[in-house]
Amino acid sequence: MGKGAGREQMNNSVGRLITFEGGDGSGKSTQLHMTATWLQEHGHEVIVTHEPGDTSLGSEIRSILLEGKHTPVPECELLLFLADRAQHVSEVILPALDRGAWVLCDRFSDSTMAYQLAGRKLADLDGLAAMLEFAESGVTPDLTLWFDLPVSEAIHRIRSRSSMGEESTRLDEEAQSFHELVYAAFTELHQAYERIIRIDASGAIEQVQEQVQAAFNVRGMV
Ligand code: TYD
């Protein structure tokens, strides 16, 4: 039996995978933690995780990818993100789903679609869909929240975070044109997939969280 069969079993259990997506600086990580607390109050077992780097092996891949010591070519960058994903799905996500937990994941395959396929212009690579499915063991999110923030606003937030001493990553420092490609890709993904709900990330933290909770309600998930 293939690894993908695990996901079919999961669909019959109460486990859920909810992914939080968006450009850098969109505030999704803060929202993810607020959402975790809210879901726990509803009695769910909640696992909070992120990509890249939330396994011991993955944290080493994360350093290679983001610290800026290396500049991988686009193909290498894609394969490293997928290597991190394969380890993460197998070690963290599937076991949690199998025991019925709700997994809140900060970035997943839509980030790869937006950053590598669109941003790095790898969309025409042969066999790409099969590679993604292989790395993800066929796991698909039950719900994806896209935190929509215009690029100019996101860049402003990233700059003010780094002026306050927060470290930026190699990808944060990409040119505005790269972030525009990423933004356009998230917009297209949202139009193409019903599982993706758009959250207007430009408002106050509480207003954004209200939209997140409304999204779970709309999908009948609370
Ligand atoms: P991180 O510091 O975790 O920040 P945040 O998610 O809050 O922006 O940075 C992760 C970076 O990795 C981010 O710039 C997006 C990028 N990324 C990809 O390019 N492809 C991927 O598949 C994933 C998961 C992330």
Among the listed residues 90, 92, 88, 142, the one whose alpha carbon sits nearest the alpha carbon of residue 112: 88
For ligand 1, atom 19, which residue shows the shortest CA distance?
A: 115
How many whole angstroms separate alpha carbon 51 and alpha carbon 158?
Answer: 19
The pLDDT of residue 13: 55
- Please report the pLDDT score of residue 150 as a whole number: 95
Q: Which helix (H) or strand (E) holds 146?
A: strand 143-148
Q: Which two structure tokens, joined as six digits, stand for 181?
A: 């490609």
Ligand 1: distance of its center to the CA of 51 in Å?
Answer: 7
User: In the prediction, which pLDDT does 153 show?
Assistant: 94
Burial of 180 (0-12, 13-18, 19+ CB in 10 A): middle
- Closest ligand 1 atom to Cα of 107: 24
Nearest CA owner, ligand 1 atom 17: 111
DSSP state of 52: T
For a substitution probing ligand 1, which of 169, 174, 181 has the most ligand atoms within 8 Å of its CB? 169
pTM: 0.94
Which ligand 1 atom is at minimum distance from the Cα of 52? 24
Nearest CA owner, ligand 1 atom 9? 169
- State the Cα–Cα distance between residues 33 and 57, nearest whole angstrom: 24
Contact 110 CB / ligand 1 (< 6 Å): no
Secondary structure, 3-state, 26-93: CCHHHHHHHHHHHHHHCCCCEEEEECCCCCHHHHHHHHHHHCCCCCCCHHHHHHHHHHHHHHHHHHHH
* 9, 97 contact by CB (below 8 A): no
Cα separation, 184 vs 109, in Å, equals 16
Task: Kindly give the number of the ligand 1 atom that is closest to the alpha carbon of 50.
Answer: 3
Superfamily of domain covering 9-218: P-loop containing nucleotide triphosphate hydrolases (3.40.50.300)
Q: Is 171 in the pocket of ligand 1 (CB under 6 A)?
A: yes
Q: Tell me, using a 6 A CB cutoff, whether residue 51 lines ligand 1.
A: yes
- pLDDT tens for each residue of the chain, 222 residues long: 344 444 444 444 579 999 999 998 899 999 999 999 999 999 999 999 999 999 999 999 999 999 999 999 999 999 999 999 999 999 999 999 999 999 999 999 999 999 999 999 999 888 989 999 999 999 999 999 999 999 999 999 988 888 888 888 999 989 999 999 999 999 999 999 999 999 999 999 999 999 999 999 999 998
